[in-house]
Structure formats: structure tokens, C-alpha cells
Amino acid sequence: MKQLLIIFILFSQSYFSQSVSDHLDKSVKEMLSTSNALSANLSFYVSDENGNLVYEYNGNKGLSTASTQKIFTSAAALETLGKNYQFKTTASYSGKISNGNLDGDFYITSNGDPTLGSWRWENYKPENFKQQLLEAIKKSGIKKISGNLIIDDSYFDFQSTPGGWPWNDLGNYYGAGTFGVNWKENQFDIHINGNQFKSFSYDLNQVNWINELKTGGNSDQSLIFTAPHSETAMINGTLPAGKVTTVSGATPNPPIQLAVEIKKLLEENGISISGKTTTYYNEKIEGKSVSKAPTQNQIFEYKSPTLDKIVYWFLRKSINLYGETLIKTMAKEKRNNPNFETGVDFLKDFWKSKGINPMMINFADGSGLSPQNYVSAKAQVQALLYAKKQNWFDAFHEGFPTQNGIKMKSGTIKDSKSFAGYQTSKSGKNYVFSIILNNYQGGSISNALFKVLDNLK
């Protein structure tokens, strides 16, 4: 009797697996037979929770993943840095304090905290940071700074965006670079009525604008063009007429932006600064040298939310800044070389050590914004299966949005879409999947993929 029961269970599992596989295959062929998919490429891989293959279509084929690339970065960061890892921002000074006068320079530095001044956590908003810094300065006895206010942004190298990012992404909020000192997620907002600027969320320091906007249409079809450390920005495209639209851009120089705001804060509270307001890299651009923040005379330390909380927003809202910061942080912490190339190499070596064929993970960045990322669906499933066995999995899994009734991360670039995640069917079967579709032209690419993934419900 027991043997018959075992045979029945094995037969049932095989039958339902085969049924799902057949349905998936039918849906895939229907999707690829449409005119929208004439020149499309698909990589699709589905396994059960134990890694047993359920269905595969070009599972080894490397395609542009867009933001599902964040799966690899966030999982590697949780394991190598630890879910309780925190970034730190400090304030210190050179020289001496005498009768309230700092005869020296005042420094603020960070190890790249991407959440500094973020609005996503109640206790970490810009006002919280400023108030705590001000209280620390008052407690130190400083009432006047005779030297300079310096933002030491030297923790990372000078290159703030990965090579290969498209030019028409760099000036927009999702193309913000990562700096040694970040501020307000390196994002600003412009409130625009038709094609006329009304106001900014904050004044950008020394940025000159070229406005080529036109009115038309019913949605935001504008693009901002600028670059890190640039003093020129352009906006073009179209915005609806007769109403105010908010357009978000990438701050060209977040460290100097923070410096300007801190100077204003101090002066408003009666603390004057005799010297100039500058940054480590601003001085290097001008061919000058400036000392890095001293490790002694530290009066203030400000810690970020823990990494598990950062990963939540990284995955849930797909914040590219967080991904590139994590890439550089792993490069710095693990290989003492905080640049993108080292970080990408580290990420690839990490997943190679977990059994993923390196030919299937041709990474170009940590966020997926670069169209030069080529990853296979099978590699993504292998990463998801690995994550499921780790003690940090709950923090990882919590960040996945629910879309079309499925817990999955999405990725989007021009005419391409990817989804990867976990799904429990009505019958109780647990699936792990990745689907990547490139060069699907016209129609709703998301709806096309949803029809395929509905077979896992």
C-alpha cells in the first residue's frame, strides 16, 4: 500500500509538472508568433523550489536584463556586507578651537551612504541629519569657522557613473551617479507649468539651464541632459499644456550641494565661515590639493539604516543609485579598490563561486541600467535558489514587489522587459522563475509576459 502511495505521488508530481510545462510552452510559442515578437529574443527558465527544471526556453541565452540585475547585487551585498551593515557620515576638524573660534577647516565625509538625506525613512530625512549635525557643532563649542567648509568625497574614485550608461539617462533621476558623499538620493525636482519652469525642490548650485521644452500630449515625455560635475543642464521633449508637472533629475554635484546647504544652516544659526565652501574633488578639478578629513577631532557620527532596510527600497523602488553604491562598497570593503570595474569583477566572482557559469553573467553595473548587461534566465533562477537557502532571505524576499499577483522583480529598458521571482500555485507548487524578453516592438510587453507567467498561478 505504501509503495502504491509513493508511486501515485510521484506520478501526480510528474503529471502536474508536465501539464505546467506544456501550458508554458504553448504560451511562449503564441507570444513569439506575434508580429511584435518578429525579431525578439527570449530567455526563460522555471524550476521548482528544489532546483528541478520545470520549463526552459533558451535558458542559457544572455540577454539585457534591465533591473532584474539588482537580484545579483542585493543578494551578494547581503551576504558579503551583512544585513546589519550601516554606512557612516562623520564631521571633524583640523586645527584648534579657542574661545569658540575654529582656527582650521571643518570637514564632512562619508563612506558613500546612498540614504543620506533620503525621504524614505521617517528618522533619516534631511532635516534630521542637519539638526543632529548642528547640535554636535554647538556641543563642540564651535561658534565661528576661520577656515574652509570641506566635503570630503574621496572615499570612492572620481568616476560616478558606470561606463556604458546611455547619455539620455544620465541627467534623469534614475541615472544619478554615486559619490563618496551623496545627498537626497542625488535627485532634484523641477515643477514646470507647460514648458515654463515654476520652481525647484532646492536651488542647484551654479547650474545653468537650456530649456527646449515644448507643450503637447497628455504625459511627461521630457528628458534632462546633464553630467556629473557639469554646470550646464538641458531639458527637452514635451509636457502637457495647462498644468504643473514635476520632472525629476540627477544632481550634477551632490557633495557641493550638501556643502551649500550646510553653510546656509550654520549661518542661519549664527556660525560664520570665513573660508570657502568646497569639496575634495572640486579642488582636484581646479588643480589644487586639499587634505582629506582628519580621523582625529571627530565630533559627529551619523549612521544609515541597516542594509536589509536599504535592500528593501533598492528592490521595491528599483533605485539605481543604491545598486551602484553597493557595487563600489563591495569593491572597497573586499578588494580595497572602490571603482566600478573592481566591483563588477567582484560580483561576477561571487556568483561564479556559487556555481553559476560565468559565461551566463556578463555584468556591466550593479543596477541594470546599462544595456551592456547580458544575463541568462537560468543564471537568475540559480541566484534566486541560492538566496532562498540563506539566513538573510526574508530581508531579500520582502523587497520584491507583487505584480500581476506574483512576487517578482521587474526590469525595463527600451523594447525589453524582464521578470524574476517566486510563485506558489493554487495547487501549492512552489516555482522559481526568470523571463527576459528583448526587442519586443509595439504592444504591451508586460501583458505579453503576464500571459505566459499566468500558467504558474
Q: If pLDDT is split at 50, 70 and 90, which confidence band does 18 have?
A: low
pLDDT at residue 106 is higher than 60: yes
* Interatomic CA distance for residues 294 and 309, integer angstroms: 30
Element (H, E) at 430: strand 430-438
Report the range of poorest mean pLDDT among 1-10, 137-146, 345-354, 421-430.
Answer: 1-10
**Closest C-alpha to 48, from 419, 456, 429, 454:** 429
Three-state DSSP at 50 gives coil
**Ramachandran bin of 72, using left for φ above 0, alpha for ψ from -120 to 50, beta for the remaining angles:** alpha
pLDDT at 15: 45
pLDDT score for 429: 96
Residue the block writes with cell 558579503: 80
254 contacts 179 by C-beta, under 8 angstroms: yes
pLDDT average, residue stretch 336-350? 97
285-341 pLDDT, tens digit per residue, is 999 988 899 999 999 999 999 999 999 999 999 999 999 999 999 999 999 999 999
Residue type, 297: N
Amino acid at 434: S
- Name the nearest CA neighbour of 59 among 292, 301, 377, 293: 377
Residue 258: pLDDT over 90: yes
What's the whole-number mean pLDDT along residues 183-187? 98
Residues paired with residue 44 on neighbouring β-strands, in sequence order = 57, 435
Q: What integer best gives the mean pLDDT of the chain?
A: 95
Q: In the prediction, which pLDDT does 205 show?
A: 81
What is residue 290's predicted lDDT score, i.e. its pLDDT? 85
Residue 5 region by backbone torsions, left for phi larger than 0, else alpha for psi between -120 and 50, else beta? alpha
Indicate the SS3 state at residue 264: helix
Which pLDDT score, from 0 to 100, does residue 8 have? Answer: 44
User: Which whole-number Å values give the CA distances from 51 to 17, 325, 360, 382, in the listed order?
Assistant: 13, 31, 17, 8
**pLDDT at residue 453 tops 50:** yes
pLDDT at 203: 86
User: 327 is written with which cell numbers?
Assistant: 557595487
Report the pLDDT value the prediction gives residue 3, as an integer from 0 to 100: 53
Instruction: Provide the 3-class DSSP secondary structure of residue 204.
Output: coil
Mean pLDDT of 351-360: 98
Average pLDDT in the 184-208 region?
94
If we measure between CA atoms, which residue out of 369, 303, 24, 368 comes closest to residue 170? Answer: 369
The lowest-confidence range among 4-13, 70-79, 182-191, 422-431 is: 4-13
pLDDT band at 9 (very low <50, low <70, confident <90, very high): very low
Confidence label for 5 from pLDDT (cuts 50, 70 and 90): very low
Whether the predicted pLDDT of 159 surpasses 60: yes
